[in-house]
Structure 1
């Protein structure tokens, strides 16, 4: 599916509950109940309807918007096995730590921004009236070791394009994990009707640029002196992949 279609509601109570969770990304059950001006038994009934329809999901008393973004895939390498799957809320700390591990060794400003946005939202996936955010993770023995993510604007004139970031912890590189993560993100975008995916990379990040170019990405533009890194100005390369 494309970034989720707007849901339909059986009653105003269901709509009120869903919209509260949507605005906040995730919400504690008791806060949603307090915010909904309906009796407790009606709250329970409406929430269960929303969960049954697949609009909301709940884990440990935390309610979030559901995003159905695909299946779990297993891969074998000479060094062992790893899994690529849609991210879950329980992956939150692992995703942030992995992004920080990557950005600690190379300059990847967009990914740093993504990590900060995750911390602000306190949620991995996000779906609002303005935009959606989809994450896939690579895991080894349940631990997150890589990610790919897409930001999906809902503004009509931008609905055919998405921003993608991807990264793998340094100690797990050289096994094709990054390529599989990138492919998973691109496959999802193509299947959901996007015509272009883009990424922004500092001109000094040779590793990232070489990786994207090897997978068919092209330099679409350059922003001169866009970043200030180590007290110097660095160009930003606008990389794009078109389907």
Structure 2
């Protein structure tokens, strides 16, 4: 299933199965059968169809939505080895910790909002008729140390643009991890037909603004006093990159 493809269903039962998995990130097959109260044979028929059509995948009795974001890539920077790969539901805690680590050091309101959405929804990946959300993560020895996130609206007028965020834990910076994450998200956007990615940052976050500018992003607009930080109005810089 492509992320730009809105999910469609052949029956109400199929829709119920998919939407429950989508909302919860991962669900055990037997738990889903109990919750939906469908006859076992009917449940099995609809589930197998969803899997065959690329909507759901199953691993050891655990179901999740079937998004194919790309391969796992390994990198070396000096004596540090890191991996960049698609985010998974079992990255949930590591993502929250990493986003909070980054936003504790520098104000990054959009990233803080994403962390709150993750906690509220308890799901890393989302894909429904309104919006899609996906992550790539950077890991060192299996630990999440950085992320790039793309928020992908499903409304027709907005489908060509995606909001992208990126962040790396302070102790893992200066190894090119942020650049690799940013580029991975951009390449994915290009491959999936998006025409622009954008990011909104407080003007006080000099490091983030410099990082994006160095990677070819332009200032599209400035919203005056858009944030209130420590009791003072702070401008928001809206950065974008054409794909």
TM above 0.5, yes or no, is yes
Cα deviation per residue 1:32-87 (whole Å; 9 max; x = unaligned)?
A: 32443521232134323323433113457653322111111011110321000000
**Structure 2 Cα separation of the partners of residues 8 and 156 of structure 1:** 16
Q: Which moved more, 1:14-23 or 1:162-171?
A: 14-23
**Structure 1 Cα separation of the partners of residues 70 and 124 of structure 2:** 16
Q: Tell me the equivalent position of 2:133.
A: 133
> Is the partner of 1:76 in helix, strand or coil?
strand
**Structure 2 Cα separation of the partners of residues 60 and 131 of structure 1:** 28
Instruction: Note if contact 1:25-1:123 (Cα within 8 Å) is conserved in structure 2.
Output: yes
**Structure 2 Cα separation of the partners of residues 91 and 175 of structure 1:** 21
Question: Alpha carbons of 1:103 and 1:61: their partners in 2 closer, same or farther (altered >3 Å)?
Answer: farther
State the 1:225 CA deviation.
Answer: 0.6
Q: Tell me the equivalent position of 2:72.
A: 72
Cα deviation per residue 1:106-163 (whole Å; 9 max; x = unaligned)?
A: 0000000000001111011110110000100000010000000100001010010000
Question: Alpha carbons of 1:214 and 1:197: their partners in 2 closer, same or farther (altered >3 Å)?
Answer: same
Q: Tell me the equivalent position of 2:230.
A: 230
Q: Tell me the equivalent position of 1:220.
A: 220
State the 1:189 CA deviation.
Answer: 0.5
CA RMSD in angstroms comes to: 2.0
TM-score (norm 1): 0.92
Q: Tell me the equivalent position of 1:171.
A: 171
Unpaired segments ≥5 residues, structure 1: none
Instruction: Note if contact 2:26-2:89 (Cα within 8 Å) is conserved in structure 1.
Output: no
Moved over 6 A (4+): none
> Is the partner of 1:54 in helix, strand or coil?
coil
Unpaired segments ≥5 residues, structure 2: none
TM-score (norm 2): 0.92
